[in-house]
Amino acid sequence: MFNSATVNQPRVDRWFFIGVGLLMIVLNFTAFGPSIIDPSGRRIPLPLKPLVAAHVAVSVAFLLVFLAQATLVATGRTDIHRRLGIFGALLAAALIVLGYFALVGEARRGFDLSGDLSSQPAPPGMEVAFIMSPVIQLLLFGILFGAGLCYRHRPELHKRLILLAVLGILSQPPMTHVISHWRALHPWAPLLFPLSSAVFLAPSAIHDKVVDGRIHPVSIWVPIAALAVQIAFFAVIAATPLWGAIAKWLVG
């Protein structure tokens, strides 16, 4: 995924991406684990439907491949890293497609399977628009990850774009479940959603400052743009009749 490892890398740089991979795995387990371990809050009992099961399997595989890629880079095995990157790209594409159809299935049911998001009800008449709104994050992930692949021969761009796609964007669906699951956080939800996005977009710039002594332009402008797009979409666009009509068209 990010071809930027040499044996001379500072230790903090070498292990930073491994830490990100582990963090994403822990975050997803924290977000989705409670509804699996304690199914009393689930809207539909296990086993999962084939589409949802495929989405879960691909998501887990993608995070494990990201962790493996980071480990390969950290240990200097960039030859294997490049070959495995093809599989990682296919998983990313499958993640986007399955994520989209999982949202469509959720919108047609009218509720999420975990039961977490039902604690944050949509305005009357905007249920489909509310459920389909994470499609903007799938779009942002696809743009950033695709750009990272296009710049795979320029490690300084490649690794930052992949980092922002994975940590900056893919962290938001599980964070939504975490915030929605814990009722004590509900009064703070309007603040926590954009704040969590900013927090998970920031490590790229922090990493640059610590390792290189300066912040790369990608680590400045891409997070600003991604955060602005999400705030504008969720705060303004997602509540409009236009998005409601588009969401219903997407669901079919």
List the chain pLDDT tens, one digit each, 252 residues: 544 444 445 667 778 999 999 999 999 998 887 766 666 655 555 556 788 889 989 999 999 999 999 999 988 898 999 999 999 999 999 999 999 999 998 888 776 665 556 556 666 667 888 889 999 999 999 999 999 999 999 999 999 999 999 999 999 999 988 888 777 887 888 899 999 999 999 999 999 998 888 999 999 999 999 999 999 999 999 999 999 999 999 998
pLDDT given at position 237: 94
Cα(86)–Cα(81) distance, integer angstroms: 9
CA-based nearest residue to 64, from 28, 101, 16: 28
pLDDT for residue 35:
67
H helix count then E strand count, the chain:
11, 0
Say how many C-beta atoms besides its own lie within 10 A of residue 42's C-beta: 17
Q: State pLDDT tens for residues 108-143.
A: 877 666 555 655 666 666 788 888 999 999 999 999
The answer to whether 39 and 114 have CB atoms below 8 angstroms apart is: no
Q: Is 214 exposed, middle or buried (0-12, 13-18, 19+ CB in 10 A)?
A: exposed
Count other C-beta atoms under 10 Å from residue 23's C-beta: 14
3-state helix, strand, coil in the chain (%, to 5): 80, 0, 20
Taking the whole predicted model, whether its pTM rises above 0.85 is answered as yes
Residue appearing with tokens 């600003």: 224
